[in-house]
Amino acid sequence: MKNQNGFVQLHSIFIIIFIMMIIFSIGFIGAVIQVQQEIRSSCLKNSISIQNDIIRSEKILLQMNVASTTLRLAYYAAVAASLFPPTAAAGQAQMKTVQTLRKNLDQAQKLLLQITNAKAKVESLALLANLNQLSWQKKQIWSFYLHLISWVRPIQLPKMAVHAVGSDLAPNYELDTDYKHSQRLELSWQMLFSTNKRSQKFLQDQAAFSLTCGASPERKQNKWSIEIIADKF
Amino acid sequence: MNQKGQVLMEAAMILAITIAGLFLLLKKGMQIPLDFYLDDLIEKVLICEYQKQLDCKARLQQKLRKFHFQNIVIQSNSLQNEKSVSIIAQSPFGFKINKESFLKLNLTNL
């Protein structure tokens, strides 16, 4: 601008834009806090629900141990009976019956494991997709003056933390020693932002937000509970 | 008063009104993120209590003090699966806040 009036006008525009930027930034911080809250809340509720389903299946699987032990003992008794001529025929028949039952139990155990693990994986991935979508939607609103990178990534996806004792048919199952760690569902959300090239003429700013959320199981004296994973308050 | 003096007076008045307006706008504007921040803090306290951590309320008080809140009263209640926290305080911008929030999570009756 050549004259003084033009200079004042330019100056006023600059000040107005600067004030607008400050107001937008305050609004943006508010929006980020809100997104953070929504992500944490949804993550916790869904993680708890997923852990609940896994624990329910683990309880059933561990309860099946009674049946698997009984059938194993019955099988050994039948094998012993089949070795003595007077009870050999009855023993053989008993062996066949028990073995069929053991096969059925083995299938039920494996099916329960597979279904629970698959369900937990699908639900966890669906949660991950939902949270990413949520963070992406909110991100769009601010793209006119901010450059945003936001993503939710899994740190640990849950699975049934059990293992078979021995390689027998219809084995007993027990909890892994590190079940808390291997069964936990833990997600991490991060958002990095900086003012975009156009806005950097007026305000240069950059920062990062992050949170961790999830749930893990806890078993004390046969009583199950769920522990929340969250950032230290 | 000559013309220059009148212009100066008008300019000073407009400047004062503009600054006061901006100040009020910022003050009001700060209420919104502060409100979100408080909601977030309350939720964090509730989660902290579910995690059975100690001194959750004390930590909340400390954080509020950091933001120059005064006359802080924090109350928390716990029923079977439900926990609630309420805060009454005087904000640094002069307004009184009264917030209550609850969270219901089933962590034990499995």
Cα A206 vs. chain centroid, distance in angstroms?
30
Q: What is the pLDDT of residue B26?
A: 77
Chain segment A59-108, per-residue pLDDT in tens: 999 999 999 999 999 999 999 999 988 888 999 999 999 999 999 999 99
Alpha helices (runs of H) in A84-156, residue ranges in sequence order = 88-141
- C-beta of residue A26 within 8 angstroms of C-beta of residue B29: yes
Q: Is the pTM of this model over 0.80?
A: yes
User: In this predicted model, what pLDDT tens digit does every residue of B21-39 receive, in sequence order?
Assistant: 888 877 777 777 788 888 8
Which residues are paired to B97 by β-bridges?
A: B89
Q: How far is CA B69 from the centre of its chain?
A: 8
User: What rounded mean pLDDT belongs to chain B?
Assistant: 87
| In chain A, beta strands by DSSP E | 146-156, 162-165, 172-175, 185-195, 206-220, 223-230
Give the pLDDT confidence score for residue A13 in this predicted structure.
78
| Among B40, B42, B47, B66, the residue to mutate for chain A (most A Cβ within 10 A) | B47
Beta carbons of A45 and B50 less than 8 Å apart:
no
Residue with tokens 């997104």: A35
Of the candidates B36, B48, B107, which has its C-beta nearest A33's C-beta? Answer: B36
ipTM of the prediction: 0.76
Which tokens sit at A145? Answer: 């003056």
- Tell which wins on pLDDT, A49 or B4: A49
Q: Which of A27, A48, A230 sits opposite B51 (nearest CB)?
A: A230
Q: What percent of chain A has pLDDT over 90?
A: 58
Shortest Cα distance, chain B CAs vs residue A225, angstroms: 5
Q: What is the mean pLDDT of residues A153-179?
A: 94
State the average pLDDT for chain A.
Answer: 88
For chain B, state the CA radius of gyration. 22
- Residues of chain B in contact with residue A45, where contact means CB-CB under 8 angstroms, are 105
Beta strands in chain B (DSSP E): 70-78, 82-90, 96-104
Chain A partners within 8 Å of B57 (Cβ)? none
Q: How close A145 comes to chain B (CA, Å)? A: 19
CA of A48: which chain B residue's CA is closest? B107
Name residues whose C-beta falls within 8 Å of residue A210's C-beta, 6 or more positions apart in sequence: A188, A189, A190, A191
- Which of the four pLDDT bands, split at 50, 70 and 90, describes residue A20? confident
Which of A38-42, A67-71, A202-206, B90-94 shows the lowest mean pLDDT across its residues? A202-206
Q: Give the pLDDT confidence of A28-52 residue by residue, as tens digits.
A: 788 888 888 899 999 999 999 999 9
Q: Is the pLDDT of residue A15 over 90?
A: no
Are B110 and A23 in contact (CB < 8 Å)? no
The angle subtended at Cα B67 by Cα B64 and Cα B69, nearest 5°, is 60
Q: Are B47 and A228 in contact (CB under 8 A)?
A: yes
Are residues A228 and B30, on separate chains, in Cβ contact within 8 Å? no
Q: Test A228 with B47 for CB contact under 8 angstroms.
A: yes
**Chain A: closest CA distance from residue B21 (Å):** 12
* In the predicted structure, residue B58 carries a pLDDT above the cut 50: yes
Q: What pLDDT, on the 0 to 100 scale, is given for residue B32? A: 78
Tell me the nearest-neighbour CA distance from A82 into chain B, angstroms.
45
pLDDT the model gives residue A59: 95
Predicted local confidence at residue A150, as pLDDT: 84
Q: Are A134 and A38 in contact (CB under 8 A)?
A: yes
Residues of B in contact with A228 (CB under 8 A): 47, 50-51, 105, 107
Tell me: the pLDDT tens digits for A139-163? 777 777 778 888 899 999 999 999 9
Report whether pLDDT(B74) > 80.
yes
Residue A202 has a pLDDT of: 66
Picking from A26, A226, A230, the nearest residue to B29 by CB comes out as A26
pLDDT-derived band at A1 (thresholds 50, 70, 90) equals: very low
